[in-house]
Amino acid sequence: LSVYLRDRLCLAPVSLDACGLALQALGRPEPGGHAPEVFKVRPEDSLARAARKVLAQQLLKVRANAEGTLLDLDPEYLHDMRVATRRMRSALKLFAPALGPQRALALRLELGWLAGLLGQVRDLDVFIAGLRDQSGRLGDAARVAGALEAELWARRGPARKSLVAGLETKRFASLLVRLETLARSRPPRRPQGMAAQRADGVGPLLLRQAHKRVVKQGRSTVPASGSPGEAATRPAALHRLRILFKRLRYASEFFAPAMGKRIE
């Protein structure tokens, strides 16, 4: 049948699954799409221009995944939207000197609100998927996993309801407009200080600073020795280390197109 369709009807085979074909037919992007080349940071870009390009990249991903998240088409839409939100928060912190510290902070706080809504549902999706993966190995205890999964689904309903309500508010629409306005704004004609430096020159400096913060936090995050005080603070220290690692990773991704092999 495949040969007949190919040779007689000139239908080319495709590698997409049923979901991918349906989304393609509807003209909707699949989750995980790449940002256009125009938004990639170039070596000659000033830090001020690079910052706006990075924001535009991640804002595009938020917009592209918002509808799939609202309709609950696939967990990956929510995942990609959450990751793009995280990257924007990281970019606003990293590029604050080139974007305006007060403006960047205000947008980071609003994105924190959005990240909280996305995170509540995404965490439950991860737990549910993990339980399903493990249920086949649990034998008689699989019924316990089934009961836990049912409880997680029960919690997901209210969390998703809150997420949908948040995405349909004027607050979310206003946040997108504010981010769009900043991403599309022209860099200053005569930027000052770090904002005026080329991306391939200032990138290594910012990456070294991010790396130092990771190393410093890693050295202070030691295994708990058993004392109540250390045991209580260790999870917070590990969480802080995880955040710093993510910021270093995101910064590396932002500057990778401008730095080329030097990023290695």
d(CA 117, CA 106): 18
Q: Which of 65-69, 136-140, 184-188 has the lowest mean pLDDT?
A: 136-140
What is the reported pLDDT for 144?
79
d(CA 211, CA 153): 39
pLDDT in tens, 24-76: 676 666 666 666 778 899 999 999 999 999 999 999 999 999 999 999 989 99
pLDDT in tens, 199-251: 999 999 999 999 999 999 988 886 655 555 554 457 888 899 999 999 999 99
Mapped onto helix, strand or coil, the DSSP state of residue 84 is helix
Sequence-separated (6 or more) residues with CB below 8 Å from residue 191: 46, 47, 48, 98
Top pLDDT among 192 and 93 is at: 93
Helix runs in the chain, H state only: 2-7, 18-26, 47-71, 75-94, 96-99, 101-135, 142-167, 170-184, 199-220, 228-259
b/e map of 192-209 (b: 16 or more CB within 10 Å)? eebbebbbbebbeebbee
| Structure tokens that stand for 190 in this block | 């005569």
pLDDT band at 164 (very low <50, low <70, confident <90, very high): very high
CA distances from 135 to 50, 123, 138, 143, 153 (A): 46, 18, 5, 8, 16
What is the reported pLDDT for 33?
62
